Each structure stands twice: as C-alpha cells, then as structure tokens.
C-alpha cells in the first residue's frame, strides 16, 4: 500500500533547522520537502510513560513541529526503569510537564502542547481534532478503545503499540485504509494483566516505541510501506519479529460496512469490564467507598501483612480460612463481597472458592493493595 503524505509541506526550514536536520535531509526519501512536512506535522502522544517516553524523545529530535502530550499522572520512582523522558528530580512532577521540560532540552525549535487531563469521552474529540496523527502510549484497554473510536470517527491514523514482560506488538489502525483496533479485538480481552501487575522489560518499550515513531514519520512524509493491515509481534527473548496480516472486519461496529456504533461509548471502563466481571479496579473501589455503598471488604492476606498496611474498612480473613472452609459459614450471601490481597493472586483464589460455594455478588480487587498504594493512597507503605 502506498499512501500520499499525511501532511502538506509547510514553511521553509531556517538555516539552523537545515543544519539540525541535515542527516534527515541527506536521505533522498526524506529530503528538504519531507523535513518540511515533519515540521508542519502535529502529532499527539497519549501517555508519557514507557512507550510515550521514547516516542516523544525521538519525534522531538526528528523535528515534529507540534507535539501534544496527554497525561494526568505524576512521575513515580517505579516509572524510571523505563520511562526515560523523566529523571530522578522529576519524581512528584506531572508527567506532561516533566516531558515538556525534557523535550525543550532535546529540541527548542518545536512547539509542545500539554494536556494534563485524563482522556475520556467528554474531551477526546476536542483534543484529537487538531492533530494529524495519534500515537498510543497507554496501558489499558478502556483508553485504547476510546482512542480507536475517536480516531475512526475523526478519520485519523492511530499508531498503536503494547508491551508486556518480553513481548511487544505494534500496528497502525486507520479505518479509511485498513482495519481499526476493534477489527482486531472486537471485544476487550479479559484477565490480561498490565505492566503494573505483570512487569515489563524496560528496554522493550524502546523497541516498540521506535516502531511507532518510525511509522508516524513514514505516514507524515508518505514513504515506504505503512504498517496498516499488519501486526508486528516482537519476542525479545527469542529476538524474533513476526509480521502478520490483519484484515478489516466487515462486521466491525465502528468501521464495518454497517456500523452500529456511530459515536463514542458512554462508558469505556464499563465496556472493558462487563457485567459478571470478577475484577474491580482500585479506582472503582474508591468510588464505591466514597459513595457509601454497602459491601464487605475482605483482606485475605496474613495478619502480619495486615498489620503493616490495610485498606480502610477492610476486615482480615486470611486465605487459609477460605481453603479450609472455616470462613464460609460466617459470610453473608445477601451482601456484596469484595476481596483483596497484596497484588491479586490470593484474592482470585478466594474468589473462586466463594463462587463455587454459591456466593454470587463477589469480586476481587485488581492489583490488590499494591494498586491501591500506587493509584489511590500514595502514602501507603509498599512492601
Ligand atoms: Zn474496525
């Protein structure tokens, strides 16, 4: 597939820019015209984290004229193993701000726009509309579907990547020329852990991010074979790249022949954890607490762990009492039960024991008290 350049050539380069980008300009496929397109381009990166860091740094160095950053998070020490746009002195600073500062150091000749907000269905269209291309550096399904749907509705290319442990994937979704993310994943995958739960090799982010940045530049200039209708699967342990073809789904609800979804969904979080789901995010747990919902929060860790730190309102019933059945007699069957442990493993076991015993209204907290400490109560001791 050969596409025409995404971005029209803009203003001429200054003498300083000529020098700065000379190694690009020397490449015949890029040349001065290509570099002018890069300068005229407006690229939005959602997330200044593992993928967003190298994406933003390379696109800044490449001379993308306008770089947008969406991130509402603040830099934490556990980010620094892979989120290389941030440094030690940025801990506690907003990621968008920290990224902007670093970019100014890499390339002062470009314009950086920060969107220090949580991307949602009320702001996504307004934020996306001014950009030529959207790059996904997020780590959760709800945001991916949100980005995808907004890109389909606005007709914009969506450069996607994902990383977990030693595995990475990347693709370009653009419903005008090929499949969208929903064509590949019509329904959200359940029980897929994220990097906060399962970990990730830091440098893997650079491998996938560099594919994303490369595809963005190719689309802007209109060179090469875009990664549209294809999925790259990278296995860092085997050091193998596979490229598989992915097709547009004629039944796709947003980009198919008869789309049934003509706008954004009302609630992407809910879409990604449908009724009957057994997981509950710490954010949702907090909302339920603040709302004063009537539920029983059970901590299934050991007493020694409970002593160190606990989620307010939780009662301790160690997993052993579920396994030997002693806990079951005292638990109400007519009340919502929410289980949690350290990171979600033991609570999943307790959950299946309760489900087997006929308890219906029971879920467990995704990521356990670790996620609570990361996202809700950051003063919480992590062990
Ligand atoms: Zn589709």
Let me know if residue 59 belongs to a domain: yes
Q: Which of 213, 237, 215 minimizes the C-alpha distance to 224?
A: 215
Q: Which of 164, 215, 236 minimizes the C-alpha distance to 55?
A: 215
Residues 144 and 167 placed together within one structural domain of the fold: yes
Q: What's phi and psi for 298, nearest 5 deg? A: -110, 125
Residues 254 and 285 placed together within one structural domain of the fold: no
Let me know if residue 3 belongs to a domain: no
* Number of domains the chain is built from: 2
254: domain CATH number is 3.40.50.720
CA pair distance 352, 361, nearest whole angstrom: 12
Q: Domain ends where: 238, 272, 306?
A: 272
CA pair distance 37, 137, nearest whole angstrom: 23
Q: Are 159 and 144 in contact (CB under 8 A)?
A: no
Which residues have CB under 8 Å from 130's CB, separation 6+? Answer: 42, 68
CA pair distance 363, 73, nearest whole angstrom: 27
**DSSP letters along 233-253, please?**
EEETTTTEEEEEE----TT-T
Pairing of strands 111-115, 133-136: unpaired
Q: Is the pTM of this model over 0.85?
A: no
Let me know if residue 299 belongs to a domain: yes
Q: Domain ends where: 248, 272, 296?
A: 272
CA pair distance 143, 136, nearest whole angstrom: 9
369: domain CATH number is 3.40.250.10
Say which of 45, 183, 252, 341 is annotated catalytic: 341
pLDDT higher than 80, residue 383: no
CA of 128 from ligand 1 middle (Å) equals 19
Residues 34 and 73 placed together within one structural domain of the fold: yes
Query: According to the model, what pLDDT value does residue 191 have?
Result: 60
Query: According to the model, what pLDDT value does residue 265 have?
Result: 93
CA of 182 from ligand 1 middle (Å) equals 5
Let me know if residue 352 belongs to a domain: yes
Query: Is 341 among the catalytic positions?
Result: yes
3-state secondary structure of 339: strand
Q: What's phi and psi for 205, nearest 5 deg? A: -60, -40
Residues 262 and 292 placed together within one structural domain of the fold: no
The Cα-based distances of 379 to 159, 241, 306, 369 in angstroms read 36, 41, 16, 12
Query: According to the model, what pLDDT value does residue 193 have?
Result: 72
CA pair distance 23, 287, nearest whole angstrom: 52
Let me know if residue 52 belongs to a domain: yes
Q: Which of 171, 144, 163, 136 minimizes the C-alpha distance to 55?
A: 136
Q: How many percent of the chain have pLDDT more than 70?
A: 97
Average pLDDT over residues 183-197: 78
pLDDT higher than 80, residue 102: yes
Q: Which domain holds residue 292?
A: 279-375
Let me know if residue 33 belongs to a domain: yes
Let me know if residue 63 belongs to a domain: yes
CA pair distance 179, 44, nearest whole angstrom: 20
Average pLDDT over residues 174-182: 96
Average pLDDT over residues 61-88: 97
Query: Is 195 among the catalytic positions?
Result: yes
CA of 265 from ligand 1 middle (Å) equals 15
CA pair distance 34, 40, nearest whole angstrom: 10
Predicted confidence band at 349 (pLDDT cuts at 50, 70, 90)? confident
- First-residue to last-residue Cα distance in the chain: 51
Arithmetic mean of pLDDT over the chain: 93
Q: How many percent of the chain have pLDDT more than 90?
A: 77
Q: Domain ends where: 250, 272, 294?
A: 272
3-state secondary structure of 304: helix
Query: According to the model, what pLDDT value does residue 110 have?
Result: 98
CA of 183 from ligand 1 middle (Å) equals 4
Let me know if residue 2 belongs to a domain: no
Residues 258 and 287 placed together within one structural domain of the fold: no
Query: According to the model, what pLDDT value does residue 151 have?
Result: 98
The Cα-based distances of 11 to 67, 86, 185, 317 in angstroms read 17, 32, 40, 67
CA of 94 from ligand 1 middle (Å) equals 34
Per-residue pLDDT tens digits for 292-322: 889 999 999 999 999 989 999 999 999 999 9
Pairing of strands 158-164, 240-245: unpaired
Residues 182 and 46 placed together within one structural domain of the fold: yes
Residues 91 and 106 placed together within one structural domain of the fold: yes
Say which of 195, 205, 252, 255 is annotated catalytic: 195
Residues 227 and 352 placed together within one structural domain of the fold: no
3-state secondary structure of 155: coil
Residues 264 and 342 placed together within one structural domain of the fold: no
Q: Which of 259, 227, 237, 61 minimizes the C-alpha distance to 160?
A: 227
CA of 122 from ligand 1 middle (Å) equals 22
Residues 345 and 208 placed together within one structural domain of the fold: no
Per-residue pLDDT tens digits for 201-227: 999 999 999 999 999 999 999 999 999
CA of 148 from ligand 1 middle (Å) equals 9
Residues 260 and 301 placed together within one structural domain of the fold: no
Residues 254 and 361 placed together within one structural domain of the fold: no
- Using the Cα atoms of residue 135, residue 139, residue 143 and residue 148 in order, give the sign of their dihedral: positive
CA of 267 from ligand 1 middle (Å) equals 19
CA of 255 from ligand 1 middle (Å) equals 4
Predicted confidence band at 197 (pLDDT cuts at 50, 70, 90)? confident
Lowest mean pLDDT among 46-60, 134-148, 274-288: 274-288
């Amino acid at each position: 597939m050969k596409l025409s350049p995404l971005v029209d050539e803009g203003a001429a380069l200054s003498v300083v820019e000529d020098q700065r980008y000379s190694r690009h300009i020397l490449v015949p496929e890029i040349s001065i015209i290509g570099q002018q397109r890069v300068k005229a381009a407006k690229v939005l990166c959602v997330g200044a984290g593992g993928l967003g860091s190298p994406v933003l740094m390379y696109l800044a160095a490449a001379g993308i004229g306008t770089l947008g950053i969406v991130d509402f998070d603040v830099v934490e020490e556990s980010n620094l193993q892979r989120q290389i746009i941030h440094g030690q002195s940025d801990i506690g600073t907003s990621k968008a701000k920290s990224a902007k500062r670093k970019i100014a150091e890499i390339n002062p000749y470009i314009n950086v726009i920060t969107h220090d907000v949580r991307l949602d269905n009320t702001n996504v269209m307004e934020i996306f509309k001014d950009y030529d291309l959207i790059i996904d550096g997020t780590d959760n399904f709800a945001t991916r579907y949100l980005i995808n749907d907004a890109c389909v509705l606005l007709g914009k290319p969506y450069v996607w990547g994902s990383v977990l442990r030693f595995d990475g994937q990347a693709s370009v979704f653009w419903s005008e020329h090929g499949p969208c993310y929903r064509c590949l994943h019509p329904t959200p995958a359940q029980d897929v852990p994220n990097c906060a739960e399962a970990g990730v090799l830091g440098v893997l982010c650079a491998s996938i991010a560099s594919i994303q940045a490369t595809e963005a530049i190719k689309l802007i200039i209109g060179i090469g074979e875009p990664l549209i209708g294809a999925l790259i699967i990278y296995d860092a342990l085997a050091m193998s790249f596979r490229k598989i073809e992915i097709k547009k789904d004629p039944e796709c609800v947003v980009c198919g022949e008869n789309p049934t979804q003509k706008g954004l969904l009302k609630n992407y979080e809910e879409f990604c954890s449908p009724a009957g789901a057994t997981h509950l995010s710490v954010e949702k747990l907090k909302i339920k607490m603040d709302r004063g919902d009537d539920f029983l929060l059970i901590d299934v860790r050991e007493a020694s762990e409970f002593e160190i730190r606990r989620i307010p309102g939780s009662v301790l019933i160690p997993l052993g009492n579920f396994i030997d059945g002693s806990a079951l007699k005292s638990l109400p069957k007519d009340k919502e039960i929410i289980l949690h442990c350290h990171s979600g493993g033991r609570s999943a076991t307790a959950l299946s024991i309760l489900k087997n015993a006929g308890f219906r209204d029971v879920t467990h907290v995704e990521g356990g008290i670790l996620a609570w400490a990361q996202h809700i109560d950051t003063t919480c001791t992590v062990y």
